[in-house]
Structure 1
Amino acid sequence: MSQIVLLAGLCKQVPAFELPLIGIDRGAVTAMRLGCELLAAIGDFDSISDDELLELKAYTKVIQLNTHKNETDSEAAINYARSLGYDEIILYGGLGGRIDHELINLSLLVNQSNITLMNERNRIRLIDPGTYHQQRDYHYLSFMPLEECVITLKGVAYPLDHCIVHPWDTFTTSNEIIDEAEIIVHQGRLLMIECDD
């Protein structure tokens, strides 16, 4: 799989990803200010000034979208990245701002394959039936089922064995990985959420 990072408007810093980068709207300006090399900048750029847009155009390829469109800037960036052949996408900086944008970004995660949402303190991924081994990269590990799921959790503070979990159940929140977790999804799809305080 080929990976790419899309930098959304809420990123204030850019971790040392050793992957290609595309900036989304204000996220492109942040990346430019930090000296990050961008494959492109995409968005309607309604959150930046005309001077910043001119500066961005001198810095990298700019794909300027109409402000009246039927997709978000993030969705357009995902589609653009896929058109370039990238099939595993990290959307960095798309959490923690306007709740409508955050929920839409979560829906992109659910409705498209191989997307990870991240910010400075969180990583969210959709996991399907299968076995996953997870290092302790974050303090907390939570799960949000999208449908009835059957899961087994090993190597965590609160293990489960073939446990049935329903949407809106809350008992799979704030678990902790002891060393390396083994997560087995026997049935269903769920969001795996890793968090730090």
Structure 2
Amino acid sequence: MVMLRKRFVIFSGGTLGAQALREIRDGDVLVGADRGALDLIRHGYRPDMVLGDFDSVTDSEADLIRQMSRQFVPCDPVKKDSTDTEMAMAWALEQGAGEIILCGVLGTRWDHSLANVHLLRIGLDHGVPCRIVDEYNELMLMDNRAVLTVARSRFTHVSLLPLSQEVTGITLGGFQYPLHEATLTIGQSLGISNVLIGEQGTIVIREGLLLVIQSTDRAEP
């Protein structure tokens, strides 16, 4: 009998809109990273695991998180080498996650936002599909091991940005602005704001790490 690996949805302390809650499906493992756990609890969810230093919540909020979580793992805010979100990501991978969705990992703190985008590399290295999702964006990271299929959705634009110094052999199918064996280097904007011409498109690369961002100017009501 084949055991299906579960989806893990991580809620972190960045900007969390209504879209984050719409990502949750029956059977998902819900993980709260610091203040992200509070958002889950306030919307009627009981996190399966909560990790963090809880420096962004009050003592009473921390008590609520502790009481309402199935597992609660606090850490010292000074004596740690990873962000709360990275710890949550590492835990999900240790549990054998089949897919990881990161919510609330983008926001006003761009140091944290960029660090969280880099976490997509960890998922890629483990062979686990991983996405960052918010009201306006969905981010994925790909390498040359597989063709990435991008489906038409509420996100109207698809942008490509290199996360390595160079990405070579970029070939697009089903896009308004095609590329064939193209190269992108850091600093170029050639891959910004493409659009699908059908229900789906494909992206193939030969070498490098390519960040694929689907985006929209309008959030769902």
TM interval, short-chain normalised:
over 0.9
- Distance in 2, matches of 1:37 and 1:149, equals 44
Match of 1:8 in 2: 12
Stretch of structure 1 that moved more, 162-171 or 94-103: 162-171
Gaps of 5+ in 1: none
1:24 has 2:33 as partner? yes
Report the CA distance between 1:166 and its aligned residue.
Answer: 1.8
Identity %: 31
Aligned Cα RMSD in Å? 1.5
Report the CA distance between 1:116 and its aligned residue.
Answer: 1.8
Report the CA distance between 1:3 and its aligned residue.
Answer: 2.0
Tell me if structure 2 keeps the 8 A contact 1:150–1:165: no
- Distance in 1, matches of 2:90 and 2:58, equals 25
Tell me if structure 1 keeps the 8 A contact 2:158–2:214: yes
Match of 1:165 in 2: 184
Matches within 5 A, 1:68-147: 68=78, 69-113=80-124, 114=128, 115-129=130-144, 130-137=146-153, 138-145=155-162, 146=164, 147=166
Report the CA distance between 1:87 and its aligned residue.
Answer: 4.5
Report the CA distance between 1:110 and its aligned residue.
Answer: 2.5
Q: Which amino acid aligns with 1:142?
A: S
| Matched residue SS, 2:50 | strand
Q: Across the two proteins, how many residue pairs are aligned to each other?
A: 197
- Distance in 1, matches of 2:195 and 2:107, equals 22
Stretch of structure 1 that moved more, 4-13 or 23-32: 4-13
Report the CA distance between 1:164 and its aligned residue.
Answer: 1.9
Where is the strand percentage greater, Structure 1 or Structure 2? 1
Match of 2:65 in 1: 56
Gaps of 5+ in 2: none
Q: Output the TM-score relative to the length of structure 1.
A: 0.93
Q: Which amino acid aligns with 2:22?
A: P
- Distance in 1, matches of 2:17 and 2:51, equals 18
Tell me if structure 2 keeps the 8 A contact 1:150–1:188: no
Q: Output the TM-score relative to the length of structure 2.
A: 0.83
2:205 aligned to 169, 185, 189, which one?
185
| Matched residue SS, 2:182 | strand
Match of 2:215 in 1: 195
CA offset digits 1:98-127 (Å, max 9, x no partner) = 010011112222344233222121111110
Stretch of structure 1 that moved more, 109-118 or 72-81: 109-118
Tell me if structure 1 keeps the 8 A contact 2:172–2:178: yes
| Matched residue SS, 1:38 | coil
